[in-house]
Amino acid sequence: MQKEIRVTVWNEFRHEKENAAVKKHYPDGMHAAIAKTLSAQPGIRARTATLDEPEHGLTEQTLADTDVLTWWGHVAHGEVSDQVVARVQQRVLSGMGLIVLHSGHFSKVFRRLMGTNCSLKWREADEKERLWNLESGHPIAEGLGDFFELPYEEMYGERFDIPTPEELIFISWFEGGEVFRSGCCWTRGHGRIFYFRPGHETYPTYHDANVQRILVNAVRWAAARVWIATDTCPATKPLERIAPKEAVFGRAGVEQQVRDQ
């Protein structure tokens, strides 16, 4: 039997407390809605973690028990501790999957793992977003048609300052004319990363059936397959005998010897 996928749904959980429009869509927070979607699937067990919990709810133990972490943040990126960011990065390099949502593009975690600014253009104008499915054979696009639409979303426009994705699954078109790489895959170390664009807090995006399907597919795709810690550089002995050579080359930290003719 296939192992259950353990997901931790992380949310900064600020807009839902302060903005009535957001609270209306997500009375218990976006993390609760996303976790509910995921946990309704066979073989997936989701729990939540939020910024204001001790260690942002992302202790060593929690991450050790997490196969996929999803990340939604916006106004409080700067409040995420660098220690937790480094911890998440190491877990991704060791095999944990990471799904970065919407405004998480500017999170410390995503920027650290991408190595670029992850900047973009934006506009809040209640416009239609059409997401084009570029890879219908990819596991993240399973069950989707050629495209689907969200009637109201925030616009994100290029250039999105990311490393060229290893796989580009979706491109969005917006009513105002812009396009955006809205479903992007990378590998970092042993971990898989998926960035998914929609999810502005004032719209009911995470209640959309296509968006929910993509989140479920992405969790299954990104789930840790191995756990291999690689944050060491050990010196190793040769497997075979290495024949003595005429020339002796200097090694760092070892005084160079010159052999007599």
Residue ranges binding Zn ion (CB under 5 A): 103, 154, 200
Residue number of the CB closest to Zn ion reads: 200
Give me the half-sphere count of Cα atoms (radius 13 Å) on the Cβ side of residue 211: 23
Task: For Zn ion, give the closer residue by CB, 87 or 200.
Answer: 200
Task: For Zn ion, give the closer residue by CB, 154 or 208.
Answer: 154
Task: For Zn ion, give the closer residue by CB, 95 or 198.
Answer: 198
CA 143 to chain centre: 22
CA 159 to chain centre: 19
Q: How far is the CB of 30 from Zn ion (least distance, A)?
A: 11
Residue 71 and residue 98: Cα distance in Å, rounded? 8
Give me the half-sphere count of Cα atoms (radius 13 Å) on the Cβ side of residue 242: 5
What one-character DSSP code corresponds to residue 217? Answer: H
Q: How far is the CB of 242 from Zn ion (least distance, A)?
A: 58
Q: How far is the CB of 154 from Zn ion (least distance, A)?
A: 4
Task: For Zn ion, give the closer residue by CB, 101 or 218.
Answer: 101
Residue 29 and residue 50 in contact, taking contact as beta carbons nearer than 8 Å: yes
Residue 108 and residue 32: Cα distance in Å, rounded? 22
Residue 81 and residue 99: Cα distance in Å, rounded? 19
Q: How far is the CB of 102 from Zn ion (least distance, A)?
A: 6
Task: For Zn ion, give the closer residue by CB, 66 or 103.
Answer: 103
Give me the half-sphere count of Cα atoms (radius 13 Å) on the Cβ side of residue 125: 12
Q: How far is the CB of 216 from Zn ion (least distance, A)?
A: 22
